[in-house]
Amino acid sequence: MAQKITPKKTPIAEQDPIVRGKNFDEVCLGYSLEEARLEAARCLQCKTAPCIGGCPVAINIPGFIKALADGDLPKAWEVLSDATALPAVCGRVCPQETQCEGVCTVGKIKGKEPVAIGKLERFVADWKAAQPEEPVTPPAQDKGKVAVIGSGPAGLTVAGDLAKMGYKVTVFEALHEPGGVLMYGIPEFRLPKEIVRREIGNIRKLGVDVEVNSVVGRTLSMEEIRSSFDAVFIGTGAGTPHFMRLPGTNLNGVFSASEYLTRINLMHAYQFPDYDTPTRKSKKVVVFGGGNVAMDAARSALRLGADEVTIVYRRSVEELPARIEEYHHAVEEGIVFNFLTNPVEYIGDEKGYLKAVRCIRMKLGEPDASGRRRPIPIEGSEFVIEADTAVEAIGQGSNKVLLNAFPELKLNRWGYIDADEKTGETNLPGVYAGGDIVTGAATVILAMGVGRDAARSIDAYIQGKKQA
């Protein structure tokens, strides 16, 4: 049977690299129905379905692929939505190569690529979105009241799941628009905001209230929330930028990736002056880091019209933590990569604007705690890169606004909330937490996975309390 399978994934349409480097429209155009069914037919329907184990929310992957192969799209949707509230998002941004597709049986056959599970998932979700809306009758909401703090993927999943189980859920979000990183971090060309809004719309239709402009710890206190809800879920993310603290960090033109991307995504700076928020007009941009955030910042800079965009990463291409697809896209678009390099100093002009970055070459030494080889500076290898804009994408820490206002909550030694990985329980009864605020910066689907588990433990907690 295996010999009938085409070695490669069914090709998918993408915008031409030259064209897309100048616009913010989505890069990947998605499958047609024929292409999707062709790709679905590559799935072996393995009895053991290792792919399910590779998916943090355990989507019944062969199940939805079978329905798709049979042309039964409503069924495919049903299977998907049983397990995930954000299929159009995950199909687009999951690091599939290390999750579902990484363990796919077809991919294990020599010379063959795995089934394009993510692309099929997004196909089904996009198909569903194009169907006429069905009126949804929100489930009864008499089982209890739950507050969710933060509207990123973790919070949204908890909210959707609990609403389906019959709870009245209110989501409190600090920003003026819900979605967390999906809204302010990941750019339009990778994840159109319309899709995020649509998926949040679906969650609202279940009866979930979303209150924006509500910073918990400031606008409302934890005491107020705990006294008016049966349980609380905290999913406030890892939103505080780290800076490398190099000399010259506060020069004009030096940004954290969070600021750079928030201006562009949440505030639409790429549509300035139609939208009011500007960002810097750059000619030469350097981005530091090697993750998705760095790729997003670099590719955004290119789209804003920069002549040259360089990513500077202190390890080598093998260690690059970004999704492989995004790395390829960045290379195709003409982003320059400077591996084994680290910045040491920002150099400014007399008016306080960045004009160059002094860097140093690195080599890889012994593996460190993370198992990756530790980069070591090569003495005497310093050189200068001209740049009017620098973006630091070296990671984020926990957002402290809520944590500072709620000192009873136990944190771990990295400053994240100390919560049980399986249940989301914290040291306080009725208070649950999950997503980046517990694990540190991770992935959308991991945040959703813990959201799912936390929803179940919150349900058990509230029902248990009622019986007691």
Partner 1 sequence: MYKILSKRLIAPKEYDIWVEAPRVARNGKAGQFVVLRTSEKGERIPLTVADYDREGGRIRIIFQVVGKTTMAMSRLDVGDSLHDVLGPLGNPSEIENLGTVLMVGGGVGIAALYPILKELKKAGNKVITILGGRTSELVILKEECAACSDELLVTTDDGSEGIRGVVTDAMQILAERGEKIARAWIIGPTIMMKFAALKAKELGIPCWVSLNPIMVDGTGMCGCCRVTVNDEIRFACVDGPEFDGWGVNWNEFMNRMGQYKDEEKISLEKFQSEVGE
Ligand X SMILES: Cc1cc2nc3c(=O)[nH]c(=O)nc-3n(C[C@H](O)[C@H](O)[C@H](O)COP(=O)(O)OP(=O)(O)OC[C@H]3O[C@@H](n4cnc5c(N)ncnc54)[C@H](O)[C@@H]3O)c2cc1C
Question: Looking at beta carbons, which pairs linking 104-107 to residues 24 or more positions away fall under 8 Å?
Answer: 104/50, 104/51, 104/54, 105/44, 105/46, 105/50, 105/51, 106/2, 106/5, 106/42, 106/43, 106/44
Q: Which is nearer to ligand X, 160 or 180 (CB)?
A: 180
State whether residue 129 is helix, strand or coil.
helix
| Residue 94 binds ligand SF4 (CB under 6 A) | yes
| Residue 219 binds partner 1 (CB under 8 A) | yes
Cβ 237 to ligand X shortest distance, Å: 2
- Beta-strand runs (E) in 280-330: 284-288, 308-312
Residue 100 contact partner, candidates ligand SF4, partner 1, ligand X, none, CB within 5 to 8 A by sort of partner: ligand SF4
List the one residue from 296, 333, 388, 425 that touches ligand X (CB under 6 A).
296
The kind and range of the H/E element at 275 are none
| Residue 87 binds ligand X (CB under 6 A) | no
**What residues between 343 and 372 interact with partner 1 by CB under 8 A?**
351-353
User: How many residues of this chain interact with partner 1, rule: CB under 8 A?
Assistant: 43
| Residue 399 binds partner 1 (CB under 8 A) | yes
| Residue 239 binds ligand X (CB under 6 A) | yes
* Spatial separation of the C-alpha atoms in residues 393 and 255, rounded to whole Å: 9
Which value, to the nearest 10 degrees, does the dihedral of the CA atoms of residues 408, 412, 415, 416 take? -90
Burial class (CB in 10 A: 0-12, 13-18, 19+), 286: buried
List the one residue from 12, 38, 46, 129 that touches ligand SF4 (CB under 6 A).
46
Cβ 156 to ligand SF4 shortest distance, Å: 14
Which value, to the nearest 10 degrees, does the dihedral of the CA atoms of residues 456, 459, 461, 462 take? 170
List the one residue from 54, 144, 153, 449 that touches ligand X (CB under 6 A).
153
Cβ 190 to ligand X shortest distance, Å: 7
Residue 240 contact partner, candidates partner 1, ligand X, ligand SF4, none, CB within 5 to 8 A by sort of partner: partner 1
**What residues between 6 and 45 interact with ligand SF4 by CB under 6 A?**
43-45
* Spatial separation of the C-alpha atoms in residues 325 and 249, rounded to whole Å: 31
Q: Which tokens sit at 435? A: 């997503």
| Residue 175 binds partner 1 (CB under 8 A) | yes
* Spatial separation of the C-alpha atoms in residues 29 and 392, rounded to whole Å: 30
According to DSSP, residue 14 is labeled E
| Residue 18 binds partner 1 (CB under 8 A) | no
Comparing CA positions, the residue from 182, 161, 18, 139 lying closest to residue 85 is 161
| Residue 240 binds partner 1 (CB under 8 A) | yes
| Residue 62 binds ligand SF4 (CB under 6 A) | yes
Q: At residue 389, what are phi and psi to the nearest 5 degrees?
A: -140, 135
| Residue 399 binds ligand X (CB under 6 A) | yes
Q: Which tokens sit at 138? A: 């929100």
For binding to ligand SF4 (CB under 6 A), which residues are involved?
Answer: 43-46, 49-51, 55, 57, 59, 61-62, 84, 90-91, 94, 96, 99-100, 104-106, 115, 117-118, 121, 445
For binding to ligand X (CB under 6 A), which residues are involved?
Answer: 93-95, 149-155, 172-175, 180-181, 185-186, 214-217, 235-237, 239, 261, 292-293, 296, 323, 399, 401-402, 435-437, 441-445, 447
